[in-house]
Structures are given as structure tokens and as C-alpha cells.
Amino acid sequence: MQGYCVKCRAKREMQSTRNITMKNGRPATQGVCPVCRTKMFRIGK
């Protein structure tokens, strides 16, 4: 799944993805940027 890396300022394919639920109940996906190893976040399924 692709996400936006804030540190690299580019869309990249996320690694180590996992599905989570935010505090307000919305689904999201959390992963890691393959280049800079920063956490990436994408709201929605």
C-alpha cells in the first residue's frame, strides 16, 4: 500500500504495514518508509 512520507516528501510503498483503528473509530494503516525508516500513516482501508 502506498502512503505519503512527510520526511521524504514523496509517495512510497509502505513496509511493515498493519491495520489499526483510530480513537474516533476510523480504520487506518500504519507502516514504515523504506528509505528513511520514518512512520507512515494512511487513513482508510
C-alpha 32/C-alpha 37 separation (Å) is 6
Read off the pTM. 0.78
Average of per-residue pLDDT values in the chain: 94
Question: What is the per-residue pLDDT for 29?
Answer: 95
pLDDT value at 2 more than 80: yes
Residue ranges making up the domain that contains 19: 2-43
What pLDDT, on a 0 to 100 scale, did the predictor assign at position 8?
93
Give the dihedral sign, CA 17/39/43/19: positive
**pLDDT in the model for residue 40:** 95
Domain tally for the chain?
1
The grid cell for 1 is: 500500500
Task: Look at residue 45 in the predicted model and tell me its pLDDT.
Answer: 73
Q: What is the largest CA-CA distance in the chain?
A: 30
Q: How confident is the model at residue 24 (pLDDT cuts 50, 70, 90)?
A: very high
